[in-house]
Structure 1
Amino acid sequence: MLALRVRRLVGPAGLSLDEVPESIRKNDRNSVRVAIRAAGVGYIDTLSCRGEFDCVMRLPFVPGLEISGEVTSAPEGCGYSAGDRVVGYVGAGGFAEYAWVSPDMLAPLPRELSFAEGAAIVVNFHAALVALWRRAQLCAGELVLVHGAGGGLGSAMVQIAAALGARVVAVAGSAERRAVARAAGASHVVGPDEWCDAVKAAGGVDIIVDPVGGRTFEQSLECLAPEGRLVSVGCAGNEISRAPAECLMLRGTTVMGMLWPEMLKRDRSLFGRTAKQLDDLVTTGLRPIVTKTYDLADGKEAMDAIENRTSSGKLVLVMP
């Protein structure tokens, strides 16, 4: 099969399109074989290509966390059969023509979605729903601010918050990213240099989603309304921040963290439960914003766009 593999831990330049044998997991009777039609590309993939993600794999390896496709074979009683359209979380190995996936990391592809949209919904939308609904316990009518709102994860956060009935303030850098944030459902969009003063002047917000860290995290704490919640979902700024206890006590605010892959490790049933919730939202109109698709052979270009922060929305690889 064709696969886009990391041969050197130097970023996208270390990727190579190779003909490789299928994974040894084809001998695992508990796995489902999926013909991949599309694979989502995300920030974590760029980190793995530099050996900077928590789990550093042995070279060469195939990156790619999220897929959509069609089942070609499945163990009896697993709930899937040949021909089923599915989405799945593979952890690694998604940038290839086939994957062997544990049944509990698969879900039916909603009939309303294309394969590209299906691949886009797995990591970012699962993470957004868990962060906002389970962790922050968002209530309809609350005011939510999302940093990095024009990227893949940020735009998913905006869409989920809006779908759950929140009013959303989006922070995005470029004009292209601000347009994506608006399309995702943000009621107000501001730039990274103006959001803090604007939010303070308005009296703060109920929930802030921060994938950046560093100074953004510190400013976000100052911009929470009394009893507001800050959800830290990453540190794209490469700086881990700490919350001063005095700030939390005086205003009754809460800081919480959320890394979706780590939550899946602790509770594998979370994937299926979240997928069912997302199905309901898709039925009522939720659609991932896929801004660009690339052929598998052009995966380097997609990874470069994410790493250089020239992309907006969600990027997806499609298989030949």
Structure 2
Amino acid sequence: MQAWRVHRNGEPGQVMRLEETPGPTPGDGQVRVEVRAASVNFPDALLCRGQYQVRPPLPFTPGVEVCGVTEDGRRVLATPALPHGGFAEYVVADEAALLPAPDALDDAEAAALHIGYQTGWFGLHRRARLQPGETLLVHAAAGGVGSAAVQLGRAAGAKVIGVVGGPEKAAVARELGCDLVVDRRSEDIVAAVKEATGGRGADVVYDPVGGDAYAKSVKCIAFEGRVVVVGFASGVIPTPALNHALVKNYSVLGLHWGLYNTKDPAAVRACHDELTELAARGAVKPLISDRVAMADAAKAVQRVADGTSTGRIVVLPGGAR
């Protein structure tokens, strides 16, 4: 089969190589899945760089979420078992972790529903307890993770403020339905949030960026606000000033969605049921900015690594769907 493999760590565009390789063999409790669509995530870039919390042995195939078909004909969402990731024609995955692909979404959309939307749902509902009428501030609102949070926030009845970088991404955030869009390159985030909330600030901040985004967020957080730390796409891990959290009475909440797969898998399945229902009634729909052929997977991962993409880019090993 064809698969993209990484033999040394570095930038995705330089170290990913498309090769012919034997297909993976399922182990105990695993199934073989034909990949129909593989969503590109920022962790794929970190895997290539050797900077992710999980470091598979070299050589490995990146790709952390797919939509595919099992040998018995089920259309499923799967998180492939590394080192045999999703940018390949076939993967193996744990049978117990397979989820039914929503009928309301095509293969590319379904592949993009899993990690980003699960992360958003657990971050906003399980961790931050977002309430209708509250103000949600989403950083990188036009990206794959941020766009999911925007849609989930709107579905929950929140007022959504999206922060983006540049006019193109601002247009995408507006189309997603943000009540207010702030371009961090030309506008003052803190001033804009305070003005939009009458000085109160954001009740919940969803931050997959870290660095300066976190620093600005705690300057415009509301009384009893909650900052959900999702990731550090900026490459800078902030150091929270706990005296500031004490004085302003806000919470900093960490979110590692992957832990729920082992600590509370029933919650993951319940979340998927909720996401499937939201997709069925059109409340959420993954933003697919590009569907690319297998041959262009390395370029796609590099675009995500460089922060130039919007929504999700999806790799289609078998052609356009």
Which TM-score band applies after superposition, normalised by the shorter structure?
A: over 0.9
Determine the structure 1 residue equivalent to 2:145.
153
Post-superposition CA distance 1:164-186 (Å, at most 9, x none): 11110000012221122122221
Query: How far apart in 1 are the matches of 2:311 and 2:293?
Result: 17
How far residue 103 of structure 1 moved from its aligned partner, in angstroms, is: 2.0
Query: How far apart in 2 are the matches of 1:246 and 1:43?
Result: 32
Structure-to-structure mapping, 1:58-77, within 5 angstroms = 58-72=57-71
Determine the structure 2 residue equivalent to 1:168.
160
Determine the structure 1 residue equivalent to 2:296.
298
Query: How far apart in 1 are the matches of 2:113 and 2:152?
Result: 11
Post-superposition CA distance 1:84-112 (Å, at most 9, x none): 11111225311111111112221111111
Which residue of 210, 215, 220 maps to 1:218?
Answer: 215
Determine the structure 2 residue equivalent to 1:3.
3
How far residue 232 of structure 1 moved from its aligned partner, in angstroms, is: 0.8
Query: How far apart in 1 are the matches of 2:31 and 2:267?
Result: 19
Q: How many residues align?
A: 309
Determine the structure 2 residue equivalent to 1:75.
none
Determine the structure 1 residue equivalent to 2:192.
198
Structure-to-structure mapping, 1:49-60, within 5 angstroms = 49-60=48-59
**Structure 1 residue runs of 4 or more that deviate by more than 6 Å after TM superposition:** none
> Residue 126 in 1 paired to residue 118 in 2?
yes
How far residue 307 of structure 1 moved from its aligned partner, in angstroms, is: 1.5
Query: How far apart in 1 are the matches of 2:243 and 2:300?
Result: 43
Determine the structure 1 residue equivalent to 2:274.
277
How far residue 40 of structure 1 moved from its aligned partner, in angstroms, is: 0.5
* TM-score, normalization by structure 1: 0.92
For structure 1, which segment, 281-290 or 242-251, has the greater mean C-alpha deviation from structure 2 after superposition?
242-251
Determine the structure 2 residue equivalent to 1:34.
33
Determine the structure 1 residue equivalent to 2:287.
289
Letter in 1 for 2:293: D
For structure 1, which segment, 247-256 or 2-11, has the greater mean C-alpha deviation from structure 2 after superposition?
247-256
State whether residues 81 and 93 of structure 2, in contact with CA within 8 Å, keep that contact through their aligned partners in structure 1: no
State whether residues 64 and 91 of structure 1, in contact with CA within 8 Å, keep that contact through their aligned partners in structure 2: no
State whether residues 104 and 271 of structure 1, in contact with CA within 8 Å, keep that contact through their aligned partners in structure 2: no
State whether residues 38 and 65 of structure 2, in contact with CA within 8 Å, keep that contact through their aligned partners in structure 1: yes
* TM-score, normalization by structure 2: 0.92
Letter in 1 for 2:58: L
Query: How far apart in 1 are the matches of 2:237 and 2:16?
Result: 29
Letter in 2 for 1:194: D
Structure 1: segments with no counterpart, 5+ residues: 73-81
Query: How far apart in 2 are the matches of 1:89 and 1:270?
Result: 16
Please give the secondary structure, in 2, of the residue aligned with 1:49.
Answer: helix
State whether residues 104 and 269 of structure 1, in contact with CA within 8 Å, keep that contact through their aligned partners in structure 2: no
How far residue 308 of structure 1 moved from its aligned partner, in angstroms, is: 1.7
State whether residues 86 and 109 of structure 1, in contact with CA within 8 Å, keep that contact through their aligned partners in structure 2: yes
Please give the secondary structure, in 1, of the residue aligned with 2:286.
Answer: coil
State whether residues 167 and 183 of structure 2, in contact with CA within 8 Å, keep that contact through their aligned partners in structure 1: no
What root-mean-square deviation, in Å, do the aligned CA atoms of Structure 1 and Structure 2 show? 1.5
